[in-house]
């Protein structure tokens, strides 16, 4: 399926896109479609030539990324439960991981941003880079089909899965939990200091985490940051392990 937009790419931009494809090991038939995947919405506010942006492609790419990753995990981990597969998947497709992969293939250098977004450091914002990564996946799927897009996704996913299996991945549970809750429940986790114990030089913080009306913890840590991470982990493990927030809420009601 080809992109049918008007060919308006300058020679300079074509050279940039060629360099990007070489770095990413991709072969697009439609440079216009690739360019669209690298066009942030901030461009449309300043240049009528960029009235379209990569948000629709991001939506599509998210779906392609999800199904390829789920299929990969189902095949690679035949002895793991649904909850464990979901836990690994949420890390592999997280904003943290996708933004790093985006930088590795040069998206931060070739993405098109409006002047305001450029000046505010948009080229290094994790959300923008992760979204563009998904948009590139969506564009590649449209351009060359599912098989080639799947190979590209697997080249990104499989190394991250190995990191998880070897316990070498960075586990920022506050970020992982927030992304999960935002994506599936359109809300945010809330953290509360329940109590502090010990002298000033050896203080222990006890923090609870509330998600969708369900409270987890309190969990302790030697400082607020550590306690929040521990509370986020407890909440995330409970939500994923029970099959989602509604199931976690039922489990807590039945247990109480």
108 or 88, higher pLDDT: 108
Rounded Cα gap, residues 131 and 108, in angstroms:
12
243 or 239, higher pLDDT: 239
**3 state DSSP class of 116:** helix
Q: For residue 21, list its beta bridge partners.
A: none
Helices (H), strands (E): how many in the chain?
A: 12, 3
The domains of the chain are located at: 13-165, 173-255
142: phi then psi, degrees, rounded to nearest 5: -65, -35
Architecture, CATH, for domain 13-165: Orthogonal Bundle (1.10)
Exactly one of 95, 101, 134, 234 is catalytic; which is it? 134
Indicate whether 180 pLDDT > 70.
yes
CATH T-level assignment (fold) for domain 173-255: Double Stranded RNA Binding Domain (3.30.160)
Q: Assess whether 143 carries a catalytic annotation.
A: no
Q: Assess whether 237 carries a catalytic annotation.
A: no
Q: What is the pLDDT of residues 50-92, one digit of tens each?
A: 568 999 999 999 999 999 999 999 999 999 888 788 888 988 9
Rounded Cα gap, residues 105 and 38, in angstroms:
12
Q: Judge if 13-165 and 173-255 fold alike in CATH terms.
A: no
Residues in Cβ contact with 200 at an 8 Å cutoff, skipping those fewer than 6 apart: none
Exactly one of 62, 95, 143, 228 is catalytic; which is it? 62
Nearest to 103 by CA among 111, 92, 113, 93: 111
- Tokens at residue 133, please? 């990564």
Indicate whether 5 pLDDT > 90.
no
Beta strand extents in the chain (DSSP E only): 190-197, 204-211, 214-221
Mean pLDDT of all residues in 211-218? 90
Of the chain, the percentage scoring pLDDT greater than 90 comes to 54
Mean pLDDT of all residues in 8-13? 90
């Amino acid at each position: 399926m080809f992109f049918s937009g008007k060919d308006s790419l300058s020679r300079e931009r074509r050279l940039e896109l060629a360099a990007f494809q070489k770095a990413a090991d991709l072969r697009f038939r439609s440079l216009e479609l690739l360019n669209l995947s690298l066009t942030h919405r901030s461009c449309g506010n300043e240049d009528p030539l960029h009235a379209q942006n990569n948000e629709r492609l991001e939506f599509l790419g998210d779906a392609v990324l999800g199904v390829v990753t789920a299929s990969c995990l189902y095949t690679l981990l035949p002895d793991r439960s649904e909850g464990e597969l979901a836990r690994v998947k949420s890390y592999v497709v997280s904003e943290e991981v996708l933004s790093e992969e985006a930088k590795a293939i040069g998206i931060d250098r070739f993405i098109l941003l409006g002047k305001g977004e450029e000046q505010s450091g948009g080229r290094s914002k994790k959300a923008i880079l992760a979204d563009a990564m998904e948009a590139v996946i969506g564009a590649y799927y449209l351009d060359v089909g599912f098989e080639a897009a799947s190979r590209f996704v697997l080249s990104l996913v499989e190394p991250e899965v190995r990191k998880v299996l070897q316990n070498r991945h960075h586990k920022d549970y506050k970020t992982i939990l927030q992304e999960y809750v935002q994506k599936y429940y359109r809300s945010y986790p809330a953290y509360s200091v329940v109590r502090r114990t010990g002298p000033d030089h050896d203080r222990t913080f006890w923090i609870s985490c509330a998600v969708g009306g369900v409270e987890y913890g309190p969990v302790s840590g030697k400082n607020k940051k550590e306690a929040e991470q521990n509370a986020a982990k407890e909440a995330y493990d409970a939500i994923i392990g029970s099959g989602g927030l509604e199931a976690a809420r039922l489990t807590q009601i039945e247990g109480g």
